[in-house]
């Protein structure tokens, strides 16, 4: 029996397999509003046979967008646009849908990657950014404004309101984005957090605001909605955030009622030095999983079905997330089922697509 295609649960959310489609920024929204691109993009991924589909990083306020094209969920207009997309997706796919809520902090106000990814000047449509401290990501960039207490309260409330909107859209899982150098990661790392109040300095203090955000979101939504956290296990920079701190953060999250942790890495500093290869982040997930009892999702250049299966068989993680691999092959779960002798869900319209010799590896979704 394939573990990759075995049923599991995150919080109260039942999943038919352990394949997760990770959040992937598309930079294709209009003033935060989902567009036809999202209907096409999420629609095809919803037919993939994965156990869970997580919508891309979605800003809780306009200045929290990485780029002007980032998806948002901060007002009635952004909510209505996303509702329209989700209604179409759900008409043809029963896949559980999650959303990643985030705030870019000092990494906001940038051009899309295919436009260079540089920080946008104010006259180019950029905006003033915010962060724990007035330290820019790149030395030549506009420094962010250091957040005061009123700002922290506003951002916390923005996460709460976005979470409530997500639940109102029928979204079944909320992932709080504390990875990849964005705002909550900026609080966690001593490289970006130079505060001298109770939100800076010690590990306990640096974890305080991300934990406050988690508590606030968890309390704002129903118990039936799973709430988890995406974290960067390490900054890949000497003296920065590392996996020992990530383990402590994960323990604190578990104690607070977190349903899972999704383990990535990097993104906080241009000084990062990463040796990238298949499964390069798996040791971090494995070490965290040894210390917590909640599900751990592993991600990071896991592209082959047998590799994904081995991650679970060896106890490295409880679920495996795919990002670029599933953009390249939106039917990855179908092909994995065929390779591993399992079954994946597919729309009845597509059941006859099975090649001869692989009949029975697809089953109708309901």
Q: Is position 328 annotated as part of the catalytic site?
A: no
Predicted pLDDT at 110: 98
| pLDDT at residue 340, rounded to an integer | 97
d(CA 18, CA 3): 8
pLDDT digits (tens, 9 = 90+) for 116-171: 999 999 999 999 999 999 999 999 999 999 999 999 999 999 999 999 999 999 99
Between CA 90 and CA 20 the distance in angstroms is: 17
Q: Which CATH number fits domain 8-364: 1.10.1240.10, 3.20.20.70, 3.40.50.2300, 3.40.930.10?
A: 3.20.20.70
Q: Low-confidence residues of the chain, pLDDT below 70? A: none
Using an 8 Å Cβ cutoff, are 309 and 2 in contact? Answer: yes
Q: Which residue has the tokens 């109040």?
A: 197
Encode pLDDT of 194-228 as tens digits.
999 999 999 999 999 999 999 999 999 999 999 99
3-state secondary structure 3-48: CCCCCEEECCEEECCCEEECCCCCCCCECCECCHHHHHHHHHHHCC
Torsion 260-250-22-305 (CA) sign: negative
3-state secondary structure 78-100: HHHHHHHHHHHHHCCCCCCEEEE
pTM summary value: 0.97
What is the rounded CA–CA span in Å between residue 142 and residue 179?
Answer: 22
Q: Is 325 helix (H, G, I), strand (E, B) or coil?
A: helix
pLDDT of residue 168: 98
Backbone angles phi, psi at 6, to 5 degrees: -90, 150
Show the tokens assigned to 207. 């974890």
Q: Which of 182, 260, 328, 350 is catalytic?
A: 182
Which phi and psi angles does 344 have, rounded to 5°? -125, 155
Amino acid 119: pLDDT: 97
Q: Would you state the pLDDT for residue 359?
A: 85
Q: Angle between the 305-313 and 332-340 helix axes, to the nearest 10 degrees?
A: 70
- Give how far Cα 311 sits from Cα of 240, 305, 315, 318, 340, Å: 27, 10, 6, 8, 14
Task: Determine how many CB atoms are found less than 10 A away from the CB of residue 88.
Answer: 15
Confidence (pLDDT) at 275: 82
State the DSSP code for 156.
Answer: H
**Closest to 255 measured CA to CA, from 214, 283, 216, 289:** 214
């Amino acid at each position: 029996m394939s573990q990759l295609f075995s049923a599991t649960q995150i919080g109260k959310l039942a999943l038919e397999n352990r394949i997760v489609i990770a959040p992937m920024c598309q930079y294709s929204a209009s003033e935060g509003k989902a567009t036809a691109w999202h209907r096409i993009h999420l629609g095809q991924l919803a037919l993939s046979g994965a156990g869970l589909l997580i919508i891309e990083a979605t800003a809780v306020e306009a200045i929290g967008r990485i780029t002007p094209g980032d998806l948002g969920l901060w007002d009635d207009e952004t909510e209505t646009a996303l509702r329209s997309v989700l209604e179409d997706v759900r008409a043809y796919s029963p896949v559980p849908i999650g959303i990643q809520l985030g705030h870019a902090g000092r990494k906001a106000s940038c051009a899309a990657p295919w436009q260079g990814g540089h920080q946008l000047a104010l006259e180019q449509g950029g905006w003033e950014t915010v962060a724990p401290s007035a330290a820019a990501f790149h030395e030549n960039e506009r420094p962010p404004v250091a957040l005061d207490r009123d700002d922290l309260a506003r951002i916390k409330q923005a996460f709460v309101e976005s979470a409530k909107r997500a639940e109102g859209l029928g979204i079944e899982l909320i992932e709080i984005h504390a990875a990849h150098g964005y705002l909550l990661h900026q609080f966690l790392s001593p490289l970006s957090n130079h505060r001298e109040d109770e939100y800076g300095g010690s590990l306990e203090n640096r974890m305080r605001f991300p934990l406050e955000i988690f508590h606030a979101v968890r309390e704002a939504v129903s118990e039936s909605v799973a709430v988890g956290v995406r974290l960067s296990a390490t900054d890949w920079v000497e003296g920065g955030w590392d996996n020992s701190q990530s383990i402590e953060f994960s323990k604190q999250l578990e104690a607070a009622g977190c349903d899972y942790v999704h383990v990535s890495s990097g993104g906080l500093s241009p000084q990062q030095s990463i040796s990238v290869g298949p499964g390069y982040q798996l040791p971090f997930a494995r070490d965290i999983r040894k210390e917590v009892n909640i599900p751990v999702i592993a991600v990071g250049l896991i592209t082959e079905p047998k590799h994904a299966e081995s991650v679970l068989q060896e106890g490295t993680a409880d679920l495996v997330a795919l990002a670029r691999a599933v953009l390249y092959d939106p039917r990855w779960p179908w092909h994995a089922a065929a390779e591993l002798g399992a079954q994946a869900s597919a729309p009845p319209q597509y059941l006859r697509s099975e090649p001869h010799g692989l009949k029975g590896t697809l089953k109708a979704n309901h």
